[in-house]
Structure 1
């Protein structure tokens, strides 16, 4: 069960982890905002107290000289972009041990997150969204930048209009050692045909993405459907989009933007004019441009954690102002397996191979052992900690045991005294008819009780008892079935294996998400309790959830076609060797519904 408090949401502002820095470029970090394909994003503050978002580039890119050269050039170009609908770049370091850049913090959910949580947006919101993104692209293109990766996750919804982020950064990753091995830059569902077929990009590529964003906001799903990256890219290149659910008023805008020929797409000026023509009322950005439900997400992101007040750990050699300073753990032992019920003796961690990154001896007191089978409760490699794990609290003093014993003794004494008192149950119930009465007299006899019928004969079948499983590690491209006890991740082609819940990673197209091909998923917002009743009542469904839509503690329902219902609690992503894994807690109600017919 989740509770809603006035403190910053743990899903939005996660604490720094074991491998996170305490300081980047002189900025003291306060929380983790998210993790993307190119790096990790942190919350920090300027000396004057303004919140900022700092993206630290991944090691794989940092070690590539061509990436560094391109990244430096693109950051310099991005610093020239100063529009009302962009998040400005305010600081950067492209030459340090790990490059980073800082932008203004935007207190608003991404379009992807808002649609996943609250559904499609109304017509006025979609038009204001389109106008704002068009104005942002006008400034971005004016600086000589093509975004190349414009998608719902890169459009933030602020209280006074949208903000486009990460413009031009994808270009730095092109033709590097990583992309040269087959990694594609860009999100398949929102690529333009020329980008998907030949890698050709230009300003018209972003126009196509704008049409995709407008359609996504209006219908709540991509215009070219979902599924494997290869299938989506084929449809984008060779087929027309499914616009049957797009509101009729928006069809002229979406249809023109999604023209397969780049030369046939409208200019940004034409898009803005078309939006004004479509709108039944003047388009003016204001506090009411979004539905009230989405405004709650904005309010939540305004409850920022306080800046760190203690000085960061000082290394042996003082770093330069732009040097990347590793975060130091708190003094004292750190237990590497704080999951309930997990025994290091049963599945001891393995040591990295000599010469491999991160190779180090096991912690004191933990013997070496064989590598546990992948997928089920897989521990992280030595030298790493599972996502969002914290040191175990110190043992309590014996005084606590004395107090507890005293309380137990008092309860026993009260129970003995109570047993000597007269039984008042008859007095409490003397005005009530006997529960087993089958006569028709006395207050109507109870609705639906037939004469002589056994008690409870007309009641609905009781709900199944839930079964809870904690710390299930699902390795990439593994999946689980809710009917299994316990649910053990199985390897296979997760896109075609009819699994209830799987974790999919496509290394070719950088496509990563949690999905189901034997049912539906329902992301729950912070105000919803993860329960059987909530899962049954929800009408919002999706077949996949990207990792940027959820954080540690996020919950979603899994509705299996076999009739099982589960609440999954997400606990982050980790790495084990060359593979990644995600960790869930699962509460499962088996046979809660009738199975769906094939």
Structure 2
């Protein structure tokens, strides 16, 4: 189910009236209709003050209660705000810390690929080539922001009049971080996973290329390449068997078969995918006509373009939160469709001094040399207290229960992931810790403790997809990049500390690291991107289990290395240095 367009048919089916359990406002946005519901919550239609329709996704209570999900979700929203491509739905507003976490993206007036194929059958070859070329360009900017989609499937691809839109990128990562996916909560479908994903191994941008090949086969034949049935059966075939490509047109065979290589290193790059689309089209440049989709699918776009304006009487100011509309998209982002949105009556949408301007649609031409270059943001930081925050009590955790909807969001990663997400160095990755008396531990006062004896580890090679648990006497890399780990090298290209109430800080270049320096450093970051680090750069890690460490980068593998990406680190650990007396 798509996050924005779950239904087919008439306007009344697409834009469902609000029910008794639906909110009427979200942070000052007046809701006009319900667009759908899925494994992670509900999606609503609203408007910016200038009349631009937006899709607002509100989290389910189960996910909102999970502090690790909240942390991951905030991190992924921050990354997603850097994705500004022609074939993605831009994130224009969000609140990840408030009483009701939510995410607002530009509304795309078009059916999902899944809905279009179910309603009208497989797409013609020319439409599939334009679809995959547009999706590849979307992946280029998504990967350039340091994000692996992880859940690229037909319901996460919307078909607009001027091309496809890839949505919900990075959201699967946040869902996978919560214990819910390992305890019976099923998100999405495994039919479009890659073999390494199904086997619980390292996830890379090549994982999205495999999913792209599956989407191409589905669009061209109307059926998944590895069939349907039980989750375990489909996952087994993805890992151990070859796809059924008997119905794939000959012109698409090379594109699909190369993307579906079991070995990630054998799959084509994004640029090569676009080149394969050009070759299959027998053209040097792919050009997208206005009628790139079959007429029946285009008619569905017309239905969804008639977005209804809110009809409720605006509530008095006291009945809705006073929240200013603060768009996060840079000036000049591209509109999602050339159709003029309905203008809401006065009082709908949060009050604001401005809205993002709308640009006219462009004619798109695809060529590998035309792909823009995107760099991840350096150390996306966030405000933090001068010392590690106090432990949160159960009432605070209970107050974090909310609603959020990312319909059709993540796949069933919980099928093959560990249920318990705890550190191996002592202490759970989430929740409140207690002392021997069962009472909540007091705020750490590291300044009052004598400096503990340091443990020094030289030349640790930390491979992407692995982590370190600082409480281990034998400090060795262990497989896994999320789940409450104390220092992990994420395959997205960054280091992070994931234990509840842990922190990570990057020291200024040339600053001499020490226990005192790490205790004094408060400029915490969410993640430290490896491409912004250099030999000799030092990081301070404080874990939720009370350990502190100084990490010195001694080496970084260069692009094209025959071995996996890894960092060579010197690590000095002061155990229990952040604990109270």
Q: TM-score, normalised by structure 2?
A: 0.53
Alignment of 1:172-211 (within 5 A): 172-181=174-183, 183=185, 187-211=189-213
Instruction: Identify which range, 167-176 or 262-271, moves more after superposition.
Output: 167-176
Structure 2: distance between partners of 1:276 and 1:189? 27
Indicate conservation of the 8 Å contact 1:28/1:308, yes or no.
no
Larger Rg: 1
Q: Equivalent residue for 1:298?
A: 301
Q: TM-score, normalised by structure 1?
A: 0.52
Q: Equivalent residue for 1:213?
A: 215
Shift, 1:8, TM fit: 6.4
- 1:64 paired with 2:73, answer no
Q: How many residues align?
A: 324
Counterpart selection for 1:264 from 250, 263, 266 = 266
Shift, 1:313, TM fit: 6.4
Q: Equivalent residue for 2:507?
A: none
Shift, 1:116, TM fit: 0.3
Structure 1: distance between partners of 2:246 and 2:413? 32
In structure 1, the gaps of 5 or more residues are: 1-6, 324-504, 511-598
- 1:286 paired with 2:289, answer yes
Indicate conservation of the 8 Å contact 1:188/1:509, yes or no.
no
CA deviation vs aligned residue, 1:282-320 (integer Å, no higher than 9, x gap): 52123111111110000010111123451136667x634
Indicate conservation of the 8 Å contact 1:155/1:164, yes or no.
yes
Q: Equivalent residue for 1:500?
A: none
Structure 1: distance between partners of 2:194 and 2:152? 10
In structure 2, the gaps of 5 or more residues are: 1-8, 326-410, 417-581
Structure 2: distance between partners of 1:97 and 1:322? 16
Structure 2: distance between partners of 1:94 and 1:276? 41
SS at match of 1:84: coil
Alignment of 1:115-514 (within 5 A): 115-181=117-183, 183=185, 187-281=189-283, 282-308=285-311, 310-312=313-315, 319-321=321-323
Indicate conservation of the 8 Å contact 2:46/2:54, yes or no.
yes
CA deviation vs aligned residue, 1:191-222 (integer Å, no higher than 9, x gap): 00000011531101100000000000000010
Shift, 1:508, TM fit: 6.4
Structure 1: distance between partners of 2:152 and 2:219? 14
SS at match of 1:102: strand
Q: Equivalent residue for 1:79?
A: 81
Indicate conservation of the 8 Å contact 2:188/2:412, yes or no.
no
Indicate conservation of the 8 Å contact 2:87/2:135, yes or no.
yes
Give structure 1 regions of 4+ aligned residues with deviation exceeding 4 angstroms.
Answer: 182-186, 313-316, 505-510
Structure 1: distance between partners of 2:188 and 2:148? 12
Shift, 1:10, TM fit: 1.3
SS at match of 2:14: coil
Structure 2: distance between partners of 1:314 and 1:320? 8
Alignment of 1:102-113 (within 5 A): 102-113=104-115
Structure 1: distance between partners of 2:151 and 2:223? 17
Indicate conservation of the 8 Å contact 2:198/2:413, yes or no.
no
Structure 2: distance between partners of 1:302 and 1:32? 15
Higher relative contact order (CA 8 A, sep 6+): 2
